[in-house]
Amino acid sequence: MSTTTPTAIPTRTQVAIIGAGPAGLLLGQLLYKAGIDAVIIERQSGDYVLGRIRAGVIEQTTADALDAAGVGSRMHSEGLPHDGVELCVDGQRHRIDLAALTGGKHVTVYGQTEVTRDLMEARATEGLLTVYEAQGVSVHDFAGTQPRVRFTHGSVAREIACDYIAGCDGFHGVCRASVPAGALRTFEKVYPFGWLGLLADVPPVSDELIYVRSPRGFALCSMRSKTRSRYYLQCSLDHKVEQWSDAAFWEELRLRLDPQACDELVTGPSIEKSIAPLRSFVTEPMRFGSLFLAGDAAHIVPPTGAKGLNLAAADVTYLAAALADHYNGHDDEGLSRYSERALARVWKAERFSWWFTSLMHRFPDNAGFGERMQEAELAYLFGSQAAQAALAENYVGLPMVLH
């Protein structure tokens, strides 16, 4: 993990990247491979960033981006390729054969924490600069000709001039918040429930993910490795983590699983528990002058479709290619079309995540007609190879067109 001292911070770079999560780190590595100078500025410590617990279902396009960045070897050796997923509805499982339905494509289960670690270590190995614990970060003149980033580091006020700013600083970051309100158009749907997640060092209940729709609500059986599992329960937004003991979580999970999964479930003490609200959110456009938004700074998806990390990787893949064309090929079409290209993919992923969330969860106001529509949609899905192929195509990830 790279560290910084005030004297190591330059006064100018080509691209200033705000945020050292996977999006910012991946962009930095892709730019380095293209010969483009970049500095990453992060308000948290490196240990804090690495300690974030996130999902880790990797699409092929994301795996390709990690390979292009030179950080894919551990993912290939330790990640778990998945050729299918299972949907369990009212106690009966239905397998969606991803590989058979998509011409051999699959996803890889590899934790986002591990992706972050790989990117951090690669950046440190190359001696590239990441400024951690930067306080009071602000972005300036991105609508003009002299964009710059200001912050305090080690009690010293700093300013970095740059050609472009990449806002990879998340939903609550400074970059989107710095754009004049009149230049933004936002779209949002807030779901009336959250996910209670538990991480434990126990073997997974199945070799593949199981998405569960039960009379008691949604559940997800996932994993990080062959010895570490991640489980989720749909819960009310007014629930607090403190209300849920480990025993209560495991008991409720059993009530939502099918008999086979109950028999194979191994329980243990939690490493981490948290409740995450679910929302869909998109900002348009994703470019404002020399400021480009990427990842959660521009869009949020409910985690049902496993698209958050993958969308962020797609954004920075588009952006890195556009910046490489600009600096190395004197071609600005990629920069001009960045927002258009990224949003076309974002909205398709938003649609899939919204559809999958709407299909598998219990909604408090959905009794009667709405519930019958869910049942009809599920009956159609399980009886139609074409419908299953559409789910599989979206789940493994839609293709990317860079040019």
* Active centre residues (catalytic): 82, 211, 303, 307, 395
d(CA 57, CA 224): 9
C-alpha closest to that of 257 among 86, 382, 54: 86
SS3 288: strand
What are the φ and ψ backbone dihedral angles of 292, each rounded to 5 degrees?
-115, 130
d(CA 77, CA 74): 5
The tokens 């910046």 sit on which residue? 323
- Cα 343 to its chain centre, rounded Å, is 15
- Torsion region of 397: left, alpha or beta (phi above 0 gives left; psi -120 to 50 gives alpha): left
For 173, what's the count of Cα atoms within 13 Å in the CB-facing half-sphere? 28
d(CA 222, CA 363): 22
Tokens representing 269 are 């003490």
SS3 194: strand
